[in-house]
C-alpha cells in the first residue's frame, strides 16, 4: 500500500489548481448566469494538455495516468464543472474510446486533433426514449455497403454543438438486439446533421448541451469502431472509465463547497464567536470532511485499478455513485452553513449545489450505479 | 544567449507561519513549497523570450541553493520550460552565503543574462541578486519591470526613485526583476511535465562560505486591536475619529 | 569608526525620507559611540546639504556627478567612501535605490546585510536588528556578525528627530566613475503623489466594479493629497496600471493612513499594507477579512459612501 502521490501527480494537481483559481474563477458566475460557453478556457486548457491528458504521447496526448486525471478533474470542478464536464467527455469517453478500440488510421485521423484539443468530442448515446437503457437504441445506422446511413435523434449531448467529432451509438441489426449496435465516428459537419437549441439547464449551465438530429447522414464504413455489432460493448466499456471522470467531478464539487464552507465558518461571527466554534457547524464540517475523504479514496482506487490494467468497473460505479450522492449532501450543507449568503450567487455554493444534482443523473444515474454494484455483489457472494 | 534564472524555494504565500517552541526557528512541517513569486515571473519572462527569439536564446538554466527537498521546485521550473537545472547543495544561510554559493556554481559558465526576483517572500531580503552581480563582477540593473532583447543589447525598464527609466545595457548582466516583468506566471503543460522527466538536474557541492548574519529569533507580529465600525450614514464620525483619535488627518 | 549613510536626492532636493534616515543615522552613531558621515551622489546645492545639519548630519561627502544610477559604479563609490571614512556600519533606505546598491556594497565590504530593518537596533553589542519576514506575517530578529555591517531601513519606521549641529561639506572626486548602462529615456511622475512616499493612500479593489468607477476614488485622493493604489485583481483586469498594485508581489506601502475601498483583504494584499499606521476599510460584505486588519470600518455601498467621504474630508480640510 502507498498513499503518497508522485511529484508529477502533485505537479499536475497544482497546475490544474492554479488554472482554476487564477483563471476559471474570474467569470464563473457570469458564465453560469448567462450560459456562456467557456471557449477561451477550453482553448487554454487544450494548450496546457488537459483536454487529452490521458492519451498516449504518440497520439499527441499528455500521457498522464488516471490518478493524475482524478486530481486535475477535482481541482477544475471545485470552480467550474461546466468546464470539467467538457474535459471529462473529451478525455474519458471520446479519446479513450478511440485510443482503446480504434484502428491506427482512426487514431491518426481523429484521435490526434482531439488529444491536442483542436477538436472537441461528443459521445452520443442517450435518446429521447432511452436514457439509461442503452440497449434500446432507436437511432439506426443502416448498412449500405460501403457506408452507413444514420437516422434518428440523440438527447442531452454534452458538447453537442461545439464538438468537431461525434461518437454515435446506433442500431444496425435491430433483430440482434444490443448485439446489433454499432459505434461510428461522425464528423459534426456532415450533411444531414442538425443540432437542437441549447438546453437551458439548472446547473453546469455554460456547458453546451443539445439534442442532435441525423437525417440520412452518410458515414464511411471505415469510421466504425471495432467489429460489426461492437457498439454496445464499446459503450459499456467506455462508460466504465467515464464514471471515474464524473466521480472526480462530483468529488471536486463537494470539496470546492467544503473549502468555502470552512473558510466562511472561520470568518462569519454569530453569538459573539466565529460560527466554526459552534458545535452544530463544526460537526457538520467533520461529517463533510469524512464523506469527501471517502469519495476521494474511492475515486483514486478506481483510477489506480485502471492504471494497473485491472478490472475497475465495480470500483468506478461505487466511486461515481458515492461521490455524486455526497456531493449533493455536502453542497446542501455548505449552503446551509452560509445561511442567506449561501443562497445568493456571489458565494458560489448555490451553484455548486445545482451542479451536484447533475452528477447524480448523468453518465448513469445513481440508480443505474446501484444496479451495477448490486449485480456484482450478488454474483460474488 | 544563455539565461540563468535564480530560484528560491519558499513556503506558499498563504501559509500560516508556525515557530519552534523556543521561537528561534520557523516550523516548516506541513508547508507547501512553491517557486518564489518574483522568481516565477522572471522564469516566465525568460521562457517568453526564448519562445519569441528561438535563434537568440539558446538555453534557460534554473539554479537554487538548497537541500534535496528543493528539487521538486526545480523540476517544476523545468516543466514550465527551463532547459536544465542546477542545485547547489547548500541549504540555509543568509543572503551573502546563498549568493556566494550561486556565484561559485556559475563562475566561468557562459551565462549572458542572469535573472533574479527582487525579493523572496520568506526573508524579504532583496539581496541575493545584487550580491551575485558583485561577486561575478557583472553589471546589474534592479527593479526591472520589462525586459527585451535586441541582438546583444538588453533593453529594460527599471523603476527609479520617482519614476521609471528605459535603459540599455549589455550582456553579461544581472537583472533584478519585479512585478510587471511578466503578467501571468507560467503553468506547466502536460508536455512540459513529461519532458521535464529527462531534462538534466545537476547537483553541485557547496563552496566554503561564511554568512554575514544569523537569525536570532522570531516573534508573531503584534495583534491589531478590533476594528471600530462606523455607521455609513455617519461619515462625519469617521472624519472626526481620524482627526482627533488617530490623528492622521 | 563611523556610520555612513547614503542619501539620495531627487532633482537636487531631499525628501522627508532623507531626513528620517539622516536622523536615524545620527541615533545609530550615538548608540555605537561613533560619528555620522553622509554620502550624497548627484548635484545638490550647498544650502540643501547644510539643512541636514538639523537632523544630525556631521560630515557630508558630496560626490557631484551627472551620471545616472549605475549599480556597479554607485556601489563602488559608496564602498570606497565607507572604507575611506572607516565606516563599520553603512545605512541606506529600503527603496528601489537602496535595494539595488546595498547588496553590492555589502559584498565589496565583505559585510553582512540585513535589509528592511524596522527602526533602531534591538541591541548594539551584539548588533541585532528587527525586521519583518514572510511578507509581514512574522517579525524576525537578526544579528549581523561581520565586522562591517550594512542595513537598509524600512521607510517610516524610525521617525524624524532633530539635533543641534552643523554640517561640514567635503567634495569627493567622481572622475573615475564609469557606467555600464545607457539611459534611453526617463519618465518622471509629475503632479501625482508617489505611492512609495505618500502619507495617505486611497486604494480600490474589485468592489469598485469597473475602471469607469475610479473617478470618485481619485476625487477623494485629490482632497486628501493622497496617492492612488489598487489590489491585484484590479491591475490584472487592467482597470489600473500595474505600478499601482499594492500587495505581496506588488508594492509594499507604509503610509500613515490607508483606505481600502472594496478590497476584500486577501492575505496577499494584507502583506503589502500591514505597515500602515491606520487602515480604513469600506466594504459591502460585513464578513470581508479586510475588517480584521482595519482600524476603522464601514459596511456599505461605495457608490453612496465614497462621495460622502469626499465631501466630509473636503469640509474638514476647508475648516483647518
Cell numbers for A304, please give them. Answer: 489506480
A264 interaction partners in chain C (CB closer than 8 Å): 287
Q: Does the distance separating the beta carbons of A18 and B193 come in below 8 Å?
A: no
Interface test with C, best of A21, A23, A267, A270 (most C CBs within 10 A): A267
Dist. CA C39–CA C49, nearest whole Å: 10
Dist. CA A123–CA A138, nearest whole Å: 16
One domain, residues C158 and C42: yes
Strands (E), C127-239: 128-133, 138-144, 149-153, 168-171, 181-188, 200-204, 227-230
Q: Which residues contact A99 (CB under 8 A, 6 or more apart)?
A: A55, A56, A59, A61, A107, A111
B41 interaction partners in chain A (CB closer than 8 Å): none
Closest Cα of chain B to C163: distance in Å? 25
One domain, residues C27 and C114: yes
One domain, residues C238 and C96: no
What pLDDT, in 10s, does the model give residues A202-213?
A: 999 999 999 999
- Is residue B238, in this structure, part of any structural domain at all? no
Collapsing DSSP states into helix, strand and coil, what is residue A214? strand
At A132 the pLDDT is 63
The ipTM assigned to this model is 0.94
B79 interaction partners in chain A (CB closer than 8 Å): 11
**pLDDT of residue C86 exceeding 70:** yes
How many A-B residue pairs are in contact by the CB < 8 A criterion? 44
At A131 the pLDDT is 66
- Is residue B248, in this structure, part of any structural domain at all? no
Collapsing DSSP states into helix, strand and coil, what is residue C308? helix
Using CB atoms, which residue from A15, A57, A63 is nearest to B187? A15
Q: Are A76 and A252 in contact (CB under 8 A)?
A: yes
In terms of DSSP bridges, do strands A121-124 and A165-171 run parallel, antiparallel, or are they unpaired?
parallel
B94 interaction partners in chain C (CB closer than 8 Å): 112-113, 142
Closest Cα of chain A to B227: distance in Å? 14
The single residue of A8, A363, A367, A380 carrying the catalytic annotation is A363
- Is residue B120, in this structure, part of any structural domain at all? yes
Dist. CA C243–CA C221, nearest whole Å: 17
Using CB atoms, which residue from C188, C236, C292 is nearest to B162? C188
Main-chain dihedrals φ then ψ at residue C208, nearest 5 degrees: -75, -15
Q: Which residues contact A93 (CB under 8 A, 6 or more apart)?
A: A121, A123, A167, A238, A239, A241, A242, A245
Q: Domains plus CATH for chain A? A: 7-119 (1.10.540.10), 122-228 (2.40.110.10), 233-380 (1.20.140.10)
Q: Which residues contact C212 (CB under 8 A, 6 or more apart)?
A: none
- Is residue C315, in this structure, part of any structural domain at all? yes
C134 interaction partners in chain B (CB closer than 8 Å): 11, 15, 17, 121-122, 124
DSSP output for A276-327: GGSHHHHHHHHHHHHHHHHHHHHHHHHHHHHHTT---HHHHHHHHHHHHHHH
CATH number of the domain to which B126 belongs: 3.40.50.620
Closest CA to C229 of C245, C251, C250, C247: C245
Dist. CA B185–CA A367, nearest whole Å: 44
Low-confidence ranges of chain A (pLDDT < 50): none
One domain, residues C72 and C166: yes
Q: Work out how many domains chain C is built from and give that number.
A: 2
Using CB atoms, which residue from B139, B165, B212 is nearest to C71? B139
Closest CA to C192 of B241, B163, B220: B163
Q: Work out how many domains chain B is built from and give that number.
A: 1
Strands (E), chain C: 2-7, 35-41, 59-63, 87-93, 112-117, 128-133, 138-144, 149-153, 168-171, 181-188, 200-204, 227-230, 257-261, 278-283, 296-299
- Is residue B228, in this structure, part of any structural domain at all? no
Dist. CA B5–CA B103, nearest whole Å: 13
What pLDDT, in 10s, does the model give residues C161-175?
A: 999 989 999 999 998
Chain A positions with Cβ closer than 8 Å to B: 7-8, 10-12, 14-15, 18-19, 22, 47-50, 53, 57, 61-64
Interface check for C287 against chain A (CB to CB < 8 A): the answer is yes
Low-confidence ranges of chain B (pLDDT < 50): none
- Is residue B246, in this structure, part of any structural domain at all? no
- Is residue B11, in this structure, part of any structural domain at all? yes
Dist. CA C130–CA A195, nearest whole Å: 68
Domain range for B102: 2-223
Q: Are B75 and B85 in contact (CB under 8 A)?
A: yes
- Is residue C44, in this structure, part of any structural domain at all? yes
At C191 the pLDDT is 65
Type and span of the H or E element at A66? helix A66-79
Q: Does the distance separating the beta carbons of C289 and A268 come in below 8 Å?
A: no
Cα torsion through C283, C286, C290, C291, rounded to 10: 110
Dist. CA B6–CA C212, nearest whole Å: 40
Closest CA to A337 of A328, A349, A355, A320: A349
- Helices A66-79 and A231-267 meet at what angle, rounded to 10? 50
- Is residue C50, in this structure, part of any structural domain at all? yes
**pLDDT higher for C271 or B113?**
B113
**pLDDT higher for C252 or A58?**
A58
Q: Are A126 and A154 in contact (CB under 8 A)?
A: yes
**pLDDT of residue C190 exceeding 80:** no
Cell numbers for B203, please give them. Answer: 547537483
B14 interaction partners in chain C (CB closer than 8 Å): 267-268
In terms of DSSP bridges, do strands C112-117 and C149-153 run parallel, antiparallel, or are they unpaired?
parallel
Using CB atoms, which residue from A7, A22, A64 is nearest to B190? A64
Sign of dihedral through CA atoms A90, A91, A93, A99?
A: positive
Interface test with A, best of C287, C292, C297, C299 (most A CBs within 10 A): C287
Using CB atoms, which residue from B185, B188, B190 is nearest to A53? B190
Closest Cα of chain B to C34: distance in Å? 22
B128 interaction partners in chain C (CB closer than 8 Å): 103
Cell numbers for C110, please give them. Answer: 565583505
Main-chain dihedrals φ then ψ at residue B96, nearest 5 degrees: -65, -40
One domain, residues C76 and C219: no
Task: List all chains that touch chain A, counting a touch as 3 or more CB pairs closer than 8 Å.
Answer: B, C
What pLDDT, in 10s, does the model give residues C122-168?
A: 999 999 999 999 988 899 999 999 999 999 999 889 999 999 989 99
Closest-approach residue (CA) in chain A for C234: A26
Using CB atoms, which residue from B41, B118, B163 is nearest to C187? B163
- Is residue C178, in this structure, part of any structural domain at all? no
One domain, residues C273 and C127: no
- Is residue C117, in this structure, part of any structural domain at all? yes
Is the peptide bond prior to B172 cis by the omega test (within 30 degrees of 0)?
yes
One domain, residues C153 and C30: yes
Only one residue has cell 457498439, namely A231
Q: Which of C171, C204, C228 is the last residue of a domain?
A: C171
Closest Cα of chain A to C172: distance in Å? 53
One domain, residues C13 and C89: yes
Interface check for B202 against chain C (CB to CB < 8 A): the answer is no
One domain, residues C294 and C208: yes
At C192 the pLDDT is 75
Active site residue A355: no
At A162 the pLDDT is 96
Burial A136-175 (b: 16+ CB within 10 A, else e): ebebbbeeeeebbbbbbbbbbbbbbbbbbbbbbbbbbbee
One domain, residues C82 and C29: yes
Domain range for C242: 195-319
- Burial of A381 from C-beta contacts in 10 A (0-12 / 13-18 / 19+): exposed
CA triple A133-A135-A136, angle to 5 deg: 85
- Is residue B190, in this structure, part of any structural domain at all? yes
Only one residue has cell 440523440, namely A154
Dist. CA C312–CA C320, nearest whole Å: 13
Q: Does the distance separating the beta carbons of B76 and A12 come in below 8 Å?
A: no
Cell numbers for C17, please give them. Answer: 525620507
CATH number of the domain to which C67 belongs: 3.40.50.620
Closest Cα of chain A to B188: distance in Å? 6
One domain, residues C160 and C286: no
At C215 the pLDDT is 93
- Is residue B134, in this structure, part of any structural domain at all? yes
Interface check for B23 against chain C (CB to CB < 8 A): the answer is no
Using CB atoms, which residue from B75, B185, B189 is nearest to A48? B189
**Count, residues in chain C:** 320
Q: Does the distance separating the beta carbons of A14 and B76 come in below 8 Å?
A: yes
A57 interaction partners in chain B (CB closer than 8 Å): 191, 194
Interface test with C, best of B8, B12, B13 (most C CBs within 10 A): B13
Q: Are B210 and B99 in contact (CB under 8 A)?
A: no
Q: Which residues contact C264 (CB under 8 A, 6 or more apart)?
A: C205, C206, C207, C283, C285, C288, C289, C290
Closest Cα of chain C to B37: distance in Å? 7
CATH number of the domain to which C267 belongs: 3.40.50.1220
Amino acid at each position: 500500500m502507498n498513499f503518497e502521490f508522485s511529484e508529477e501527480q502533485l505537479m499536475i494537481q497544482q497546475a490544474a489548481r492554479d488554472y482554476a483559481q487564477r483563471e476559471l474563477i474570474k467569470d464563473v458566475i457570469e458564465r453560469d448566469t448567462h450560459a456562456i460557453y467557456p471557449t477561451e478556457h477550453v482553448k487554454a486548457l487544450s494548450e496546457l494538455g488537459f483536454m487529452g491528458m490521458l492519451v498516449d504521447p504518440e497520439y499527441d496526448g499528455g500521457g498522464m495516468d488516471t490518478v493524475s486525471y482524478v486530481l486535475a478533474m477535482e481541482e477544475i470542478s471545485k470552480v467550474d464543472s461546466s468546464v470539467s464536464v467538457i474535459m471529462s467527455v473529451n478525455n474519458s469517453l471520446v479519446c479513450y474510446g478511440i485510443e482503446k478500440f480504434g484502428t491506427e488510421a482512426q487514431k491518426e485521423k481523429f484521435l490526434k486533433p482531439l488529444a491536442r484539443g483542436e477538436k472537441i468530442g461528443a459521445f452520443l448515446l442517450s435518446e429521447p426514449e432511452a436514457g439509461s437503457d442503452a440497449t434500446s437504441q432507436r437511432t439506426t445506422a443502416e448498412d449500405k455497403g460501403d457506408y452507413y446511413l444514420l437516422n434518428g435523434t440523440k438527447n442531452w449531448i454534452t458538447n453537442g454543438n461545439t464538438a468537431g467529432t461525434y461518437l454515435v451509438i446506433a442500431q444496425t441489426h435491430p433483430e440482434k438486439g444490443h448485439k446489433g449496435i454499432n459505434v461510428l465516428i461522425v464528423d459534426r459537419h456532415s450533411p444531414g446533421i442538425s443540432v437542437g437549441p441549447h438546453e437551458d439547464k439548472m446547473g453546469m449551465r455554460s456547458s453546451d448541451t443539445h439534442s442532435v438530429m441525423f437525417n440520412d447522414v452518410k458515414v464511411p464504413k471505415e469510421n466504425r469502431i471495432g467489429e460489426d455489432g461492437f457498439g454496445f460493448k464499446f459503450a459499456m466499456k467506455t462508460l466504465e472509465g467515464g464514471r471515474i471522470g464524473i466521480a472526480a467531478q462530483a468529488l471536486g464539487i463537494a470539496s470546492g463547497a467544503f473549502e468555502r464552507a470552512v473558510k466562511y465558518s472561520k470568518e462569519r461571527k454569530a453569538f459573539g464567536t466565529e460560527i466554526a466554534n459552534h458545535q452544530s457547524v463544526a460537526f457538520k464540517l467533520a461529517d463533510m470532511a469524512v464523506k469527501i475523504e471517502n469519495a476521494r479514496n474511492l475515486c483514486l482506487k478506481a483510477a489506480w485499478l485502471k492504471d494497473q490494467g485491472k478490472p475497475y468497473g465495480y470500483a468506478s460505479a461505487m466511486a461515481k455513485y458515492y461521490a455524486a450522492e455526497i456531493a449533493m449532501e455536502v453542497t446542501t450543507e455548505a449552503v446551509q452553513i452560509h445561511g442567506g449568503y449561501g443562497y445568493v450567487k456571489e458565494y458560489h455554493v448555490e451553484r455548486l449545489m445545482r451542479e451536484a444534482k447533475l452528477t447524480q443523473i448523468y453518465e448513469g444515474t445513481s440508480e443505474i450505479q446501484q444496479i451495477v454494484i448490486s449485480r456484482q455483489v450478488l454474483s460474488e457472494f | 544567449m544563455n539565461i540563468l534564472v535564480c530560484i528560491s524555494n519558499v513556503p506558499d504565500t498563504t501559509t500560516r507561519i508556525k515557530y519552534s517552541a523556543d521561537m528561534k526557528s520557523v516550523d516548516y512541517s506541513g508547508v507547501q513549497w512553491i517557486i518564489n513569486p518574483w522568481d516565477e515571473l522572471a522564469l516566465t519572462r525568460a521562457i517568453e523570450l526564448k519562445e519569441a527569439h528561438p535563434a537568440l536564446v539558446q538555453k534557460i538554466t534554473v539554479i537554487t541553493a538548497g537541500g534535496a527537498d528543493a528539487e521538486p521546485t526545480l523540476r517544476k521550473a523545468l516543466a514550465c520550460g527551463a532547459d536544465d537545472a542546477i542545485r547547489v547543495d547548500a541549504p540555509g544561510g543568509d543572503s551573502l552565503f546563498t549568493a556566494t554559493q550561486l556565484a561559485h556554481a556559475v563562475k566561468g559558465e557562459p551565462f549572458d543574462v542572469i535573472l533574479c526576483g527582487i525579493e523572496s517572500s520568506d526573508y524579504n531580503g532583496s539581496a541575493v541578486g545584487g550580491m551575485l552581480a558583485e561577486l561575478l563582477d557583472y553589471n546589474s540593473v534592479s527593479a526591472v519591470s520589462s525586459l527585451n532583447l535586441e541582438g546583444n543589447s538588453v533593453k529594460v525598464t527599471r523603476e527609479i526613485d520617482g519614476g521609471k527609466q528605459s535603459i540599455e545595457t549589455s550582456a553579461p548582466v544581472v537583472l533584478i526583476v519585479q512585478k510587471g516583468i511578466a503578467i501571468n506566471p507560467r503553468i506547466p503543460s502536460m508536455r512540459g511535465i513529461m519532458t521535464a522527466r529527462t531534462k538534466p538536474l545537476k547537483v553541485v557541492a557547496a563552496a566554503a562560505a561564511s554568512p554575514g548574519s544569523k537569525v536570532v529569533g522570531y516573534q508573531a507580529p503584534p495583534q491589531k486591536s478590533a476594528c471600530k465600525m462606523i455607521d455609513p450614514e455617519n461619515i462625519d464620525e469617521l472624519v472626526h475619529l481620524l482627526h482627533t483619535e488617530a490623528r492622521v488627518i | 569608526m563611523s556610520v555612513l549613510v547614503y542619501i539620495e536626492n531627487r532633482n537636487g532636493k531631499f525628501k522627508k525620507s532623507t531626513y528620517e534616515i539622516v536622523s536615524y543615522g545620527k541615533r545609530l552613531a550615538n548608540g555605537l559611540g561613533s560619528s555620522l558621515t553622509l554620502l550624497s551622489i548627484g548635484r545638490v546645492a550647498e544650502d540643501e546639504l547644510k539643512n541636514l545639519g538639523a537632523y544630525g548630519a556631521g560630515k557630508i561627502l558630496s560626490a557631484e556627478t551627472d551620471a545616472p544610477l549605475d549599480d556597479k559604479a554607485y556601489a563602488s563609490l559608496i564602498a570606497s567612501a565607507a572604507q575611506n571614512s572607516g565606516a563599520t556600519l553603512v545605512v541606506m533606505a529600503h527603496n528601489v535605490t537602496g535595494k539595488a546598491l546595498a547588496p553590492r556594497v555589502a559584498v565589496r565590504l565583505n559585510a553582512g546585510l540585513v535589509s528592511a530593518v524596522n527602526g533602531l537596533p534591538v541591541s548594539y553589542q551584539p548588533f541585532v536588528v528587527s525586521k519583518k519576514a514572510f511578507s509581514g506575517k512574522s517579525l524576525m530578529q537578526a544579528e549581523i556578525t561581520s565586522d562591517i555591517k550594512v542595513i537598509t531601513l524600512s521607510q517610516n519606521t524610525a521617525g524624524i528627530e532633530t539635533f543641534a549641529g552643523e554640517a561640514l561639506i567635503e567634495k569627493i572626486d567622481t572622475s573615475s566613475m564609469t557606467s555600464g548602462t545607457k539611459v534611453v529615456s526617463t519618465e518622471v511622475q509629475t503632479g501625482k503623489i508617489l505611492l512609495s512616499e505618500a502619507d495617505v493612500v486611497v486604494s480600490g479593489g474589485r468592489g469598485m466594479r469597473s475602471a469607469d468607477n475610479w473617478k470618485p476614488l481619485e476625487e477623494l485622493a485629490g482632497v486628501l493629497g493622497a496617492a492612488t493604489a489598487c489590489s491585484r485583481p484590479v491591475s490584472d483586469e487592467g482597470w489600473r496600471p500595474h505600478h499601482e498594485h499594492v500587495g505581496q508581489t506588488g508594492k509594499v506601502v507604509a503610509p500613515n493612513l490607508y483606505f481600502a475601498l472594496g478590497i476584500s483583504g486577501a492575505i496577499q494584499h494584507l502583506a503589502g499594507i500591514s505597515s500602515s499606521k491606520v487602515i480604513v476599510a469600506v466594504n459591502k460584505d460585513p464578513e470581508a477579512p479586510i475588517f480584521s486588519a482595519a482600524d476603522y470600518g464601514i459596511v456599505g455601498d461605495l457608490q453612496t459612501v465614497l462621495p460622502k467621504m469626499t465631501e466630509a474630508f473636503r469640509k474638514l480640510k476647508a475648516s483647518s
